[in-house]
A and B are shown apart, each in its own frame.
Chain A
Amino acid sequence: MIIADQKPVAEIKGFIEGKKKVLIAGCGTCVTVCLAGGETEVKNVASALRIAFKNDGKDVEILEDTVERQCDDEFVEPLLARVKNEGFDAVVTLACGVGCNFLSTRIGPVQVFPGVNTSFLGSNEAQGDYLELCAGCGECILHLTGGICPMARCSKQIMNGPCGGTSDGKCEISQDIDCGWYLIVKRMQELDILGQYDEIQAARDWSKGTHGGPRRLTKETAAMAAEDDAAKES
């Protein structure tokens, strides 16, 4: 799941200073589950903004909406129509960065501001506790590391760890962070595959990650034929 964290309301308020009618838009999927941008958070942020502008003596209309996902046209269309029809001059989205991008490229001449900091791909360890477990690097090597990812869980993202900074299972950058390679070795021991640890991993192909530029994935087998192609087929 995508984990996000709400931006400070003061920062959000700064984005929309001077606007007259603003829509706070929530997303009903990842950010709802991680308690950052669902309908409840929309209510809280909107309320705080209304209080703030009222105290400033400014007449700013802050309204609320939440859709199932802000990364699919079918869900976003009603939101876009509302923005257009009701004359909003800004949108604050509490969706992840994907939603903010998605809205921005479809909404026309209305600025979309991020209401959350999109943080990482992670797990829900307990109520309100999230942990990064995947870096989205584009080439999984989890089969080599006992299912624990050095890209996501090693601070240096090294492929043959640990480094000299490991100490009692913790990373040198913080005692709150587990050493990823310590976890990998422990897991390999548990699985009795510690022999794999001796194999030196080759350098990664970093172009499959963000270093290769923005990524796009098309599943040919799932894609719908373009209307022209469909006509030829028949």
Chain B
Amino acid sequence: MGESGSKQSLDENLKAPCVAACPVHTDNRRLTEYVAHGRYEDALELTLSVNPFSSVCGRICSHACEQECRRNNVEKPLSLRMLKRFIVDNTRDYRLARRGKIKKTAGTKGKKVAVVGAGPSGMTAAHDLAKDGFSVTVFERAEKPGGMLSYAIPKYRLPYDIVREDVDDILALGVELKTGFDVGKDVTFDQLKKDHDAVLIAGGLFDSRTLALPGMDADGVILAMPFLREAAEGGTPVLGKKVVVIGGGNVAVDVARTAKRLGAEEVTMICLEGEDEMPAWDWEIQETVEEGIRISNSWGPTEVRTDGGRVTGIDFKECTCVFDDTGRFNPQYDESNTCSFDADNVIVSIGQQADISCVEGSKVKIAGGTRFEYDRATLATSEPGVFASGEIAVGPGAAIEAVAEGRRAAQAIAHWLDKGDVASIPGTDMPHVGELPERVAEKVIKRDRTEVEFADPVERLTNFEVIEPCFTEKEARQEAARCMSCTLGAVVDEEKCAVCLTCVRVCPFDVAKIEKKAVMPADECQACGLCAAECPAVAIKLERWGVHEMKNRIAGKLERLGGKPDKFLLGFGCLFQAETRDALQNDPAAVKSDGIVRISVPCTARLTVSDLLAPFELGAGGVTVIACEGDSCQYPIALDRIERRVKEAGGFLEAIGVGADKIQLMKTNGPAETEWPKILSEAREKLG
């Protein structure tokens, strides 16, 4: 739980939980805003600005943002990972063109950095260092970059071309990549260090841990990482009909599902942990079960049964407890309760460890086993100028955590190269608002989380094709509209506030209150903007919306359209009605022909009376406001408020002889694509 209280939005120290939870602090609220406005390219730029592995994360991110999303307090969290995927999947042409324009900043500073390992951590560090002007060479033992992304995660979750999208952007900065290059063999670590001003060790955990059980040396016993790697490289490891996977983590899940796709008829995952303790993500377990894989919990292996040197099965005893009171791994067993599984193959997936052979013979001090001395705060090893990040340094974790560590490593190395000493690099913790209070949550209009339908479980087992479809544009926009814009709400200018109580009275969420002056607590405000539109003192600002600024916006739009069209009419529409961004655009030819200019706003109830009059000042002959009807409306009472304001604006127009009938409010719950043209065409006919 982070900070909470009555601080208002523009306080940079008080972030939305989704932003704070993301290890690279992706501003998901901006992403959803960009999607709502149809600015998919801006959304891509935003995500790439903090996460060079945005394509990858769109597919496989463990999405801590969703766990913390405050829609959890209303119904279900936003599908933020899938929105990110939608953004990268729908901006490919733009990204390709963008890549051609990326400045090769690497090498402009004249200092050289070697990165060992082309996984997400190493490549992210290379990205940041290259952007900072350093010359960076990444040395990768495998033939392809990406590390675990390319060699461990199955293709049905993450195709290699997706990894490559991100890697190619990084390389465009001038980062040099040497694949098939084994540091420790092809060059000694000391020589590498001598050739560079700093070195980052950023390897992954490619060595599988194994078990000391009788029968482990039998044919048919396989370790997880070599198995996954062979499958990832397009190989088809030969499996028997019955496969037992030992382990309950995400890698074990990948192994089991890969085994099933490779033809094993009966796959069973068996792990020490109980159902609720399994380290694999819930959604991965669910998908696994859908694919007909059995999961058997709370069993510890005792012996691999063999016949003639070949696996025939494996025996287990009950595991009664995995962790001790202090939370340490310390399994306890009931020897009297045992079971046995027949198996043609046993695949051991009980964890991974680092291969640190790259530093053998160097001065980098080993801390014991497969770890070396490493300071979590400075990312420095025992050897000056040698740093470490990613799984080799901090142990197994999600890809986005590796990216975040890569970013920290780049900061650590840049500091070293610029200042000559090590610095403590801030971690990823960030203060944030707490949960949405229940009394506010119950007033938020409920919207179902947009889900996609995965490929049929039977069908998907026949190949390694991606099983999860991307959002359609309609689905993405629908989902983005669910964002509650946490901490981007209303801010009061205390100098101007007349304490009139209007905001307190109109706030549909009972958020606004008076503390000497009006206050909209950042942890409660829903950023609907109704208070700002009603404030008689123009004392309320919104971070995402210029209150009373419509005149300038329309003037700018007219300028871009080549001037005011003949028989100019203005149509205000709610952008949440649009299923495609095309509906939000003004086609200059159409405007020229029908004179109708469209302005899309995030809820028409943000429009003030002066906003509604502004088109007339700019020469419009009429204004149509297309508001959302009934349940389709984003905010409670919004329709009532805009109806009243249209009436007030009509009163002004009547008084000055223009006529109240020149402004009209139309309501629809249909999509903008079909409804707006009908409504605006009727307005055209009516107004002449």
Same assembly: yes
Closest chain A residue to B501 by CB distance?
A: A124
Kindly name the residue among A39, A48, A66 whose own CB sees the greatest number of chain B CB atoms within 10 A. Answer: A48
Given contacts A9-B655, A32-B498, A55-B657, contact A39 B617 (CB under 8 A): no
Q: Which A residues are in CB contact (< 8 Å) with B501?
A: 33, 124, 127
- Give a binary string over B626-668; 1 marks a CB under 8 Å from any A CB, 0 the rest: 0000000000000000000000110011011110000000000
Closest chain B residue to A127 by CB distance?
A: B505
Cβ 8 A contact of B548, one of A32, A43, A50, A54: A43
Residue B67 CB within 8 A of the other chain: no
Q: Which B residues are in CB contact (< 8 Å) with A39?
A: 496, 536-538
B231 to chain A, nearest CB (A): 65
| Contact between chains at B656 and A32 (CB < 8 Å) | no
| Contact between chains at B537 and A32 (CB < 8 Å) | yes
Residue B608 CB within 8 A of the other chain: yes
Given contacts A32-B536, A40-B537, contact A47 B656 (CB under 8 A): no
Residue A10 CB within 8 A of the other chain: yes
Given contacts A8-B655, A33-B536, contact A51 B616 (CB under 8 A): yes
Q: Which B residues are in CB contact (< 8 Å) with A10?
A: 655-657
Closest chain B residue to A39 by CB distance?
A: B538
| Contact between chains at A44 and B658 (CB < 8 Å) | no
| Contact between chains at A35 and B652 (CB < 8 Å) | no
A122 to chain B, nearest CB (A): 14
| Contact between chains at A40 and B536 (CB < 8 Å) | yes
B506 to chain A, nearest CB (A): 7
Q: Which B residues are in CB contact (< 8 Å) with A21?
A: none
Q: How far is the CA of A126 from the CA of B500 in the complex (A)?
A: 11
| Contact between chains at B538 and A55 (CB < 8 Å) | no
* Beta-carbon contacts under 8 Å, A1-31 to B: 8-10, 13, 28-29
Q: Which B residues are in CB contact (< 8 Å) with A124?
A: 501
Q: How far is the CA of A52 from the CA of B536 in the complex (A)?
A: 23
Residue B609 CB within 8 A of the other chain: yes
Q: How far is the CA of A32 from the CA of B503 in the complex (A)?
A: 13
Q: Which B residues are in CB contact (< 8 Å) with A43?
A: 538, 548, 608-610
Residue A38 CB within 8 A of the other chain: yes
Residue A41 CB within 8 A of the other chain: yes
| Contact between chains at B608 and A40 (CB < 8 Å) | yes
Residue B613 CB within 8 A of the other chain: yes
| Contact between chains at A9 and B656 (CB < 8 Å) | yes
Q: How far is the CA of A66 from the CA of B511 in the complex (A)?
A: 28
Q: Which A residues are in CB contact (< 8 Å) with B498?
A: 28-29, 32-33, 38
Given contacts A47-B610, A47-B617, A127-B502, contact A28 B656 (CB under 8 A): no
| Contact between chains at B655 and A48 (CB < 8 Å) | yes
Q: Which B residues are in CB contact (< 8 Å) with A45?
A: 652
Q: Which A residues are in CB contact (< 8 Å) with B149?
A: none
Closest chain B residue to A32 by CB distance?
A: B498
Residue B578 CB within 8 A of the other chain: no
Closest chain A residue to B504 by CB distance?
A: A127
A94 to chain B, nearest CB (A): 11
Cβ 8 A contact of A38, one of B499, B506, B536, B613: B536
Residue B392 CB within 8 A of the other chain: no
| Contact between chains at B652 and A9 (CB < 8 Å) | yes
Residue B354 CB within 8 A of the other chain: no
Q: How far is the CA of A8 from the CA of B651 in the complex (A)?
A: 9
Q: Which A residues are in CB contact (< 8 Å) with B617?
A: 47, 50-51, 54
Closest chain A residue to B610 by CB distance?
A: A43
| Contact between chains at B496 and A28 (CB < 8 Å) | yes
B435 to chain A, nearest CB (A): 30
| Contact between chains at A52 and B538 (CB < 8 Å) | no
Cβ 8 A contact of B658, one of A29, A33, A55: A55
Q: Which A residues are in CB contact (< 8 Å) with B502?
A: 35, 127
B606 to chain A, nearest CB (A): 14
Q: Which B residues are in CB contact (< 8 Å) with A13?
A: 656
| Contact between chains at B610 and A40 (CB < 8 Å) | yes
Apart from A47-B614, A48-B653, what 17 extra A-B contacts exist at CB < 8 Å?
A9-B656, A10-B655, A29-B498, A32-B500, A33-B498, A33-B501, A35-B502, A39-B496, A40-B548, A40-B609, A44-B610, A45-B652, A47-B613, A48-B656, A51-B617, A51-B658, A55-B657
**9 closest A-B pairs by CB:** A52-B656, A38-B536, A33-B500, A43-B610, A48-B652, A47-B613, A39-B538, A32-B498, A127-B505
23 CB-based A-B contacts, threshold 8 Å: A10-B655, A10-B657, A13-B656, A28-B537, A32-B500, A33-B498, A33-B500, A33-B501, A38-B537, A44-B610, A45-B652, A47-B652, A48-B653, A49-B656, A50-B617, A51-B653, A52-B656, A52-B657, A52-B658, A124-B501, A127-B501, A127-B505, A127-B506
